[in-house]
Amino acid sequence: MKRRVSSLARTCGECHACCVELTIDTPEFKKDPLIPCAHLKGGRCGIYNTRFKICREFLCGWMLSPELKDSLRPDLSGILMLAVAQASLPQAYRPAGNGMQFLVIGGEAAITGADFADYVFEQVSRRVGVYLTATIPRAMLNPYLEPFVAANDREGARRVLREVYRLLMASGKKKGFLGLLPHLYRIQLEKMRIKPNRL
């Protein structure tokens, strides 16, 4: 499904990740997550000229961020980037503006690709609030990655991305909040255990 044009005249091209991955819950249209939109036909929006308002107005992080490489388009990178409102971030990360949520749609390999890992590293170095999610819950990455950014340890940051992703995937298989508690506890333990390599 194509959307309105960003400031760099980017288009979605062959990507329709948002048409599959996201939950849509508006009065005019509803869609569950991980279910292809009923109007998606042969990889294209079948009602493009009359598509819903939410579809016309939505732009993923790749469309909104002209500095991102083409390789980070969601269908190519396996990462769907979504803006996080500045007001919803922890106070320490609000001065940098809106945050970013990285929804992993391409499996573990997507988060350790050099382009993505480097982009996350740069955002953390700028004190942008960043989150990683593969299921529910999501985990704020900054507290995990800031020691690695300070040590300029990119390989360590990739290791942390991989570990947090694995823990999120494990937690997403549990039902209810009580089922998530052991995994949330493990995420906190991992944050304390993993240390950066100092250069």
pLDDT digits (tens, 9 = 90+) for 44-73: 899 988 999 999 999 999 998 888 899 999
Q: In this structure, is residue 198 part of a structural domain? A: no
- 87 and 17 in one domain? no
The pLDDT assigned to 3 comes to 42
CB 55 within 8 A of CB 49: no
Same domain, 86 and 175: yes
Work out the percent of the chain whose per-residue pLDDT is above 90.
Answer: 51
Q: What pLDDT score does 113 carry?
A: 83
Residue 86 and residue 48 in one domain: no
Asked, for residue 199, whether it belongs to a domain, the answer is no
Domain that holds residue 101: 76-193
| Whether the Cβ atoms of residue 139 and residue 133 lie closer than 8 Å to each other | yes
Q: Is residue 184 part of a domain?
A: yes
Average pLDDT over residues 154-178: 78
Q: What is the residue whose two structure tokens read 């388009």?
A: 73
The CA distance from 99 to 173, in Å, is 26
Residue 67 lies in a domain: no
Handedness of CA 92, 131, 68, 109 (dihedral sign): positive
Count of structural domains, the chain: 2
Looking at residue 136, what is its pLDDT? 62
Domain boundary among 59, 86, 104: 59
Average pLDDT value for residue range 119-125 = 95
C-beta separation of 161 from 148 below 8 A: no
Confidence of residue 1 (pLDDT cuts 50, 70, 90): very low
pLDDT of residue 182 exceeding 60: no
Q: Report phi then psi at 112, rounded to 5.
A: -105, 0
**Would you say residue 66 lies in a domain?**
no
Q: How confident is the model at residue 43 (pLDDT cuts 50, 70, 90)?
A: confident
Report which DSSP code applies to 42: T
What is the pLDDT, as a whole number, of residue 33? 84
Helices (H), 104-175: 108-112, 114-125, 142-150, 154-172
- Alpha carbon distance 179, 132 (integer Å): 20
Q: Give the Cα separation of 100 and 120 in Å (integer).
A: 9
**88 and 186 assigned to the same domain:** yes
Residue 186 and residue 161 in one domain: yes
User: Residue 81 pLDDT more than 50?
Assistant: yes
Within a domain: 69: no
Pair (126, 98) in one structural domain: yes
Mean pLDDT of 77-97: 95
- Are 183 and 85 in the same domain? yes
Are 32 and 84 part of one and the same domain? no
Distance CA 41, CA 15 (A): 13
Let me know: does 19 contact 37? Beta carbons within 8 Å. Answer: yes
pLDDT the model gives residue 170: 79
Write phi, then psi, for 22 (nearest 5 degrees).
-90, 155
Which pair of tokens denotes residue 24?
């849509």
140: three-class secondary structure by DSSP? strand
31 plus 92 within the same structural domain: no
Determine, yes or no, domain membership for 118.
Answer: yes
- The answer to whether residue 64 is domain-embedded is no
Residues 114 and 169 in one domain: yes
Clarify whether residues 91 and 54 are in a common domain.
no
Dist CA 48 CA 26 (whole Å): 18
